[in-house]
Amino acid sequence: MFQRPLRALSVSAPVAALALIGLLLPSVSAAQDRTAQQIKLRQSVYTVLGAQVTMMGAMASGRAPFDAASFKTAAQRAAFMASIAPDVFPAGSTAPNSKAKAELWQNSADFTALMADFGDKTAALAKAAEGGTLESVRPAFVAATRTCKACHDKYKLD
């Protein structure tokens, strides 16, 4: 009862085309899933980074009392996120829900330089945070946050 009539094997061109589309669809959606995951990881890295910078910013501006240990932890976490950031921009990881501008993949030398400066300045901030006073961290904090703006102005959609 599972034997098909032989004539079913001679499929018409439109049917063959539909079958081909059917075969291609899973790989298209697998690629979309991969892109969605890449963007999710990237935005997560920046969300965690942003939370550290918000916390440090409150202390650096006097809106929150300066706590040397919390500041140091936040600075170390920010430097760690900055070490991951260069790896979360695989080519083609764009979608309407991403705010990454396509230009960043075209101007990769410039983007890489901004990324390196960001890594250097957040590492310097983590080092400065070992000093343990607001005076010792404030200039390094300002320098680190300038690197955020430098990249966002060019490569992040508002």
Binding site residues, ligand HEC, CB under 6 A: 39, 42-43, 46-47, 49-50, 53, 98-100, 111, 114-115, 118, 144-145, 147-148, 151-152, 155-156
Q: What's the min distance (Å) between Cβ of 93 and ligand HEC?
A: 7
Nearest distance from C-beta of residue 148 to ligand HEC, angstroms: 3
Structure tokens at 115: 């990324």
Token readout for 96 is 């309407």
Pick the closer one to ligand HEC by CB: 4 or 109.
109
Identity of the residue, 84 or 134, whose beta carbon is nearer to ligand HEC in the bound complex: 84
Please give the Cα distance from 85 to 79 (Å, whole number): 10
Strand, coil or helix: what is 156?
strand
Burial zone of 132 (CB within 10 Å; 0-12 exposed, 13-18 middle, 19+ buried): middle
Q: Name the residue nearer to ligand HEC (CB basis): 46 or 71.
A: 46
